[in-house]
Amino acid sequence: MKWFDYATPASVGEAVGLLKTHPGARLLAGGTDLIVQLRAGRKETDLVVDLKHIPELNAIGYDAAGGLTIGASVPCYKIYRDPAIARAYPALIELASLIGGTQIQGRASLGGNLCNAAPSADSVPLLIAMRATCRMTGPGGTREIAVEDFCTAPGRNVLQPGELLVSLHLPPPAPHSGARYLRFIPRNEMDIAVAGAGVEVVLDDGKFRSARIALAAVAPTPLFVREAGDALAGQPVNETTIARAADIARAGAKPITDMRGTADYRRHLCGVLTRRALEAAVQRAREGKR
């Protein structure tokens, strides 16, 4: 690795100041992407800014009225050990448990996964489906955007120079709602998604009140397929309506062929994973387990 200096700001303001004086600085949360990229020479920097000493980037906060706030550098293992998240957002527990393996989960954060902006990022489709928003702070102040608007291209996102992701926010779980992320990989653990589908459904008396569906690894960014979820709104919960939504999701995918799978195979996976994720989310909503 090339030489760099290292800073541990204690506040968001201090971090923003460092980004201003060091435009080439890189932000470090868990390092499971950044350290690999620096070592391989895919990224260079003169300053690594470690975000783990900033309280609000490392906190989890939940209340039933306001929802959930996850600091941008909170590692996965803290998410799946959090009893409030386990009760209110069980799909997030599964999500944090399937990224990498135990060691990666000890370091990797959802915020880092989002900022790295890989098309295959496992955490992003579910965050989109669960209506998560991003809070970002920079020299111009603080702004919030929806997660589906954050990634702009492989490895690229909307963060402006000097701006950093502070936290992710999820609204409180709606009554009779359920969420699920499913991913296909050729082994059980430790692999990059060939395709993935994250969904959330809200049920109302045997019908879908609303649904949101997003896909991984089938477009240059994590892909929100709004029309697939919208097609379920007001429809009865049954095989036919779920199959139709899965067809729309499959049609919305824009995959490429690479060493992990062909475009055709990925499209097929989108249909299957969307259907199964919807079925699982419906089950969860009916059981009141979200």
Please state, in angstroms and rounded to a whole number, the distance separating the CA atoms of residues 197 and 182: 5
Residue among 103 and 142 whose Cβ is closer to another protein = 103
For tokens 């569906």, the residue is: 213
Q: What is the dihedral of CA 207, 270, 287, 62, to 10 degrees?
A: -100
Minimum distance from CB of 185 to another protein (Å)?
12
Buried b (16+ CB within 10 A) or exposed e, 64-103: eeebbbbbbbbbbbbbbebeebeebbbbbbbbbbbbbeee
Q: By CB under 8 A, what part of segment 65-94 binds another protein?
A: 75, 77
Please state, in angstroms and rounded to a whole number, the distance separating the CA atoms of residues 177 and 97: 21
Is residue 4 at the binding interface for another protein, with CB under 8 A as the rule? Answer: yes
End-to-end CA distance of the chain: 45
Q: By CB under 8 A, what part of segment 91-110 binds another protein?
A: 100-104, 106-107
Contact 27, 164 (CB under 8 A): yes
Q: By CB under 8 A, what part of segment 6-45 binds another protein?
A: 6, 28, 30-32, 35-36, 38-40
Q: By CB under 8 A, what part of segment 178-197 binds another protein?
A: 188-190
For the record, the structure tokens of 126 come out as: 């579910």
Stretch that binds another protein, among 2-10, 88-96, 165-173, 258-266 (CB under 8 A): 2-10
Please state, in angstroms and rounded to a whole number, the distance separating the CA atoms of residues 182 and 164: 29
C-alpha closest to that of 200 among 158, 157, 147, 156: 147
Is residue 115 at the binding interface for another protein, with CB under 8 A as the rule? Answer: no
Backbone phi and psi for residue 46, each to the nearest 5 degrees, phi listed first = -100, -10
Q: By CB under 8 A, what part of segment 224-243 binds another protein?
A: none
Residue among 149 and 191 whose Cβ is closer to another protein = 191
Residue among 35 and 272 whose Cβ is closer to another protein = 35
Minimum distance from CB of 101 to another protein (Å)?
3
Residue among 30 and 252 whose Cβ is closer to another protein = 30
Residue among 20 and 39 whose Cβ is closer to another protein = 39
C-alpha closest to that of 222 among 134, 155, 144, 136: 155
Report the DSSP pairing between strands 60-63 and 67-71: antiparallel
Minimum distance from CB of 179 to another protein (Å)?
22
Tally Cβ neighbours within 10 Å of residue 229: 24
Residue among 52 and 207 whose Cβ is closer to another protein = 52
Minimum distance from CB of 14 to another protein (Å)?
17
Question: Which of 48, 57, 127, 253 is in the footprint of another protein by CB under 8 A?
Answer: 48
Residue among 51 and 211 whose Cβ is closer to another protein = 51
C-alpha closest to that of 270 among 240, 250, 251: 250
Residue among 109 and 274 whose Cβ is closer to another protein = 109
Minimum distance from CB of 31 to another protein (Å)?
5
Minimum distance from CB of 77 to another protein (Å)?
6
Residues near another protein (CB under 8 A) are: 1-6, 28, 30-32, 35-36, 38-40, 48, 50, 52, 75, 77, 100-104, 106-107, 188-190
